Structure 1
């Protein structure tokens, strides 16, 4: 009789470990998938930037420094290989794009250019998608982190060496309004 009870307890424990492990893997994969969605949208934004810069160049020839900083920020993002580098580069790219949008305010002909308006609308839609993707990513990191930290799944997480993911946070520079001088 004791052997049967011990056997049942072992089976229950093994089943619990399997269920907990699978739940952690599911949450980890959700985080990775949501990061991939951010990456796709950030890549789309990076692809739009050269067209936007070329359009602005035709109207704002003396804004070379700003346009160069936008392209430099884009290239930094494209060369980033790990999520933390990509997060940082995405913030720099956002700042650079804010500057280019501020430049457009000083050039009425540029604001009226259909190419520029179309690119600006595409970029605005892409920025909205980035915001949503960041929110989904951070929600999945939150859920995964809870599984890592809550008892008893925290025991399974530490046994199988599940690692944390960073939240996608904006840096302090992104909170500032870009300064554009003419």
Structure 2
């Protein structure tokens, strides 16, 4: 009888551990899926940038250094996104991605500011269309980042709560990093209107 009770306890513990492991695995898969949504939008933006640079190049012959800086920043962002794609949620990969995307955003802002000085470029239909697509993509990235961060939070909560943390540590599930906004605090401020 005692052996039967011991066997029943072992079976219950195994079933409990398997259920917790499956919940953690599902949560990790949801994080990876959420990052894939960010990745789609990052690829879209990265693919739009060379077209934008080519349109601008025709008008901005004297701004070659700015155009090269945008192209270089795009290359770094693509590389960081590739690494993050392989390890979504991993602190180093997320940090490198945020830094590369922030640098790219800064260069793009500089390009758009310079474009303001070229009325014919500003009026170019392709430039307007590409600018609108990039702005739309930025919004989509923001929504996808929020969904990713929500999934990371849920995963981290599962991994940090007892008794899940026991199974998480035994199975090698580690804390994941959220993806912060690539905009600076100054860029996120609402514009001030003064009369």
TM-score, reference length from structure 1: 0.88
Separation in structure 2 between the aligned mates of residue 93 and residue 175 of structure 1, nearest angstrom: 16
Which residue matches 2:113?
102
Deviations 1:71-110 (A, max 9, x none): 0101112223422233321221111111122222222222
Q: State the distance in 2 between where 1:40 and 1:133 align.
A: 9
Unaligned residue ranges in structure 1 (runs of 5+) = 178-182
Q: CA RMSD in A?
A: 1.7
| TM-score, scaled relative to structure 2 | 0.83
Structure 2 counterparts to residues 37-52 of structure 1, below 5 A: 37-52=37-52
Query: Which aligned segments of 4 or more residues in structure 1 are displaced greater than 6 angstroms?
Result: none
Equivalence for 1:121: 132
| C-alpha deviation, 1:176, in angstroms | 4.4
SS at match of 1:82: helix
Count of aligned pairs between the two proteins: 176
TM alignment of 1:89-168, pairs within 5 A? 89-168=100-179
5+ residue gaps, structure 2: 85-92, 188-195
SS for the counterpart of 2:184 is: helix
Verify the 8 A CA contact 1:31 1:140 in the aligned structure 2.
yes
TM-superposition CA deviations, 1:106-164 (whole Å, max 9, x none): 22222211000110111111111111111111111111000110000000001111122
Is 1:175 the counterpart of 2:176? The answer is no
Partners of 1:150 and 1:112 lie apart in 2 by 56
Rounded Cα–Cα distance in structure 2 between residues aligned with 1:12 and 1:77? 48
Is the aligned partner of 1:19 residue 2:19?
yes
User: 2:87 — aligned with what?
Assistant: none
